[in-house]
Amino acid sequence: MIKSYDLCVLGGCGHVGLPLAIAFASKGLQTCIYDINEQASELVKKGIVPFKETGAADSLKKVINRTLAVSGDPLVISRSRYVIVVIGTPVDEFLNPKINEIIAFFNKYLRYFRPGQTVILRSTLYPGTSQKVKEHFEYKGLPLKIAYCPERIAEGKALEEITLLPQIVSAFDRATEKAVSRLFRRLTNDIVTLKPIEAEVAKLFTNVWRYIQFAIPNQFLIIAMKFGLDFFKILEGIRHKYPRAKGFYGPGFAAGPCLFKDTMQLASFNNNDFMLGHAAMLVNEGLPKYLVEYMKSRHNLARATVGILGMAFKADNDDPRSSLSYKLKKILELESKKVLCSDPYVKDPLFTDTATVLKQAQLIVLATPHTQYKDLKFRTETRVFDIWNFYGRGLEF
């Protein structure tokens, strides 16, 4: 007997797709994952989550081979009522959108879609992409219902946030909007409906807003460093019993696979007339270089072994994509005698262990504030640079 599914998640073994598939399967929906990443697919089939995600390991074991299946046969697309597409947002080397690659993706699997199916786009999209996809299927003579429901989760907290956060639903007709809303109400009753282009822009606005928020304290940190001021003491004074400073972020490396890229996509959408976004990019992307210049002004960097603690793009995460730790590493390789990198979650044969970094490095940069770094014991002769103030001892101690 050929099995049918309530939904199929294309690209379902990644950071966005797998938590979503687990969430739907946990609600009793017959869910199938199709992913061309064979290594990740084999792990998921065995009930193993290929990346660090809170709560996912236990949840996956409860649903795998019950309400959740993993297949390497694209025919599962044909057997599914809903097809949720979770593929990385394609951009070129200059971060310009590559809509033609999305169209090429659908062409590759065109023969597996069937009339009347609902296709839900989930990844961040350049504004107008949903319309292009709809028009392309119409051109191919394939009547599909197209919806766009952007993911809104933070990596590492996806399973929790999928059910806690409102879901944005958009579609090109009212019937599809209602049907997709019913689907996502299996996860949450809090549904927000927008037009597709509004939803696409909303997703970009959200990520760019966060990127700009991070740039503000980073710019203030750089100004304080330039004038020899203790930024963290100033920040503490600003925040102390002052409610309007409640949302005043601290500084740190603002990175990851989304924020910078989406800022540049929004700039492209607005014909590169986006001074605020470009300024945020210069600040955030420039912070590693400014930190190295600061270190050079205070120490003989050319004769020092420098250790970098943390290569993931954020704390307690194993995703190194677009991490500014790597930009820091490249700059330090030009300026210092030797660079040692370590991360408890990111696996790389060129990395060393934390104990070696603590033993051999004269200068150490806390690049990613993993929780397990909290109780590290540094040698008295080692200088530590902590742009996060993770240790509460200021920028350098």
Within this chain, domains 5-194 and 203-385 share the same CATH topology: yes
Query: Tens of pLDDT along 131-177?
Result: 999 999 999 999 999 999 999 999 999 999 999 999 999 999 999 99
Cβ distance 367 to 291 under 8 Å? no
Mean pLDDT to the nearest integer, 182-187: 98
**For residue 93, what pLDDT is reported?**
72
**For residue 78, what pLDDT is reported?**
97
Mean pLDDT to the nearest integer, 280-296: 98
Query: What percent of the chain has a predicted confidence (pLDDT) above 90?
Result: 94
**For residue 223, what pLDDT is reported?**
98
CA distance 142 to 145: 10
**For residue 92, what pLDDT is reported?**
77
pLDDT higher than threshold 70 for residue 180: yes
CA distance 9 to 18: 8
pLDDT higher than threshold 90 for residue 189: yes
Mean pLDDT score of the chain:
96
Query: Tens of pLDDT along 24-37?
Result: 999 999 999 999 99
pLDDT higher than threshold 80 for residue 1: no
CA distance 144 to 146: 6
- C-alpha distances (whole Å) from 75 to each of 72, 123, 218, 321, 390 are 9, 22, 49, 31, 50
CA distance 269 to 202: 13
Least confident of 84-98, 205-219, 246-260, 369-383: 84-98
Exposed e or buried b for every residue in 176-211, given b needs 16+ CB within 10 A?
bbebbbebbebbeeebebbebbebbbbbbebbbebb
**For residue 89, what pLDDT is reported?**
74
CB atoms within 10 A of CB 275: 9
**For residue 224, what pLDDT is reported?**
97
CB atoms within 10 A of CB 55: 15
Mean pLDDT to the nearest integer, 92-118: 89
CA distance 112 to 78: 5
Mean pLDDT to the nearest integer, 7-22: 96
Q: Residue 147: beta bridge partners?
A: 120, 171
Residue 251's pLDDT band (boundaries 50, 70, 90)? very high
User: Where do the domains of the chain lie?
Assistant: 5-194, 203-385
Mean pLDDT to the nearest integer, 231-248: 95
Residue 313's pLDDT band (boundaries 50, 70, 90)? very high
The superfamily (CATH) of domain 5-194 is: NAD(P)-binding Rossmann-like Domain (3.40.50.720)
Mean pLDDT to the nearest integer, 270-294: 97
β-strands 68-71, 305-309: how paired? Answer: unpaired
**For residue 234, what pLDDT is reported?**
97
pLDDT higher than threshold 80 for residue 90: no
CATH of domain 203-385: 3.40.50.720
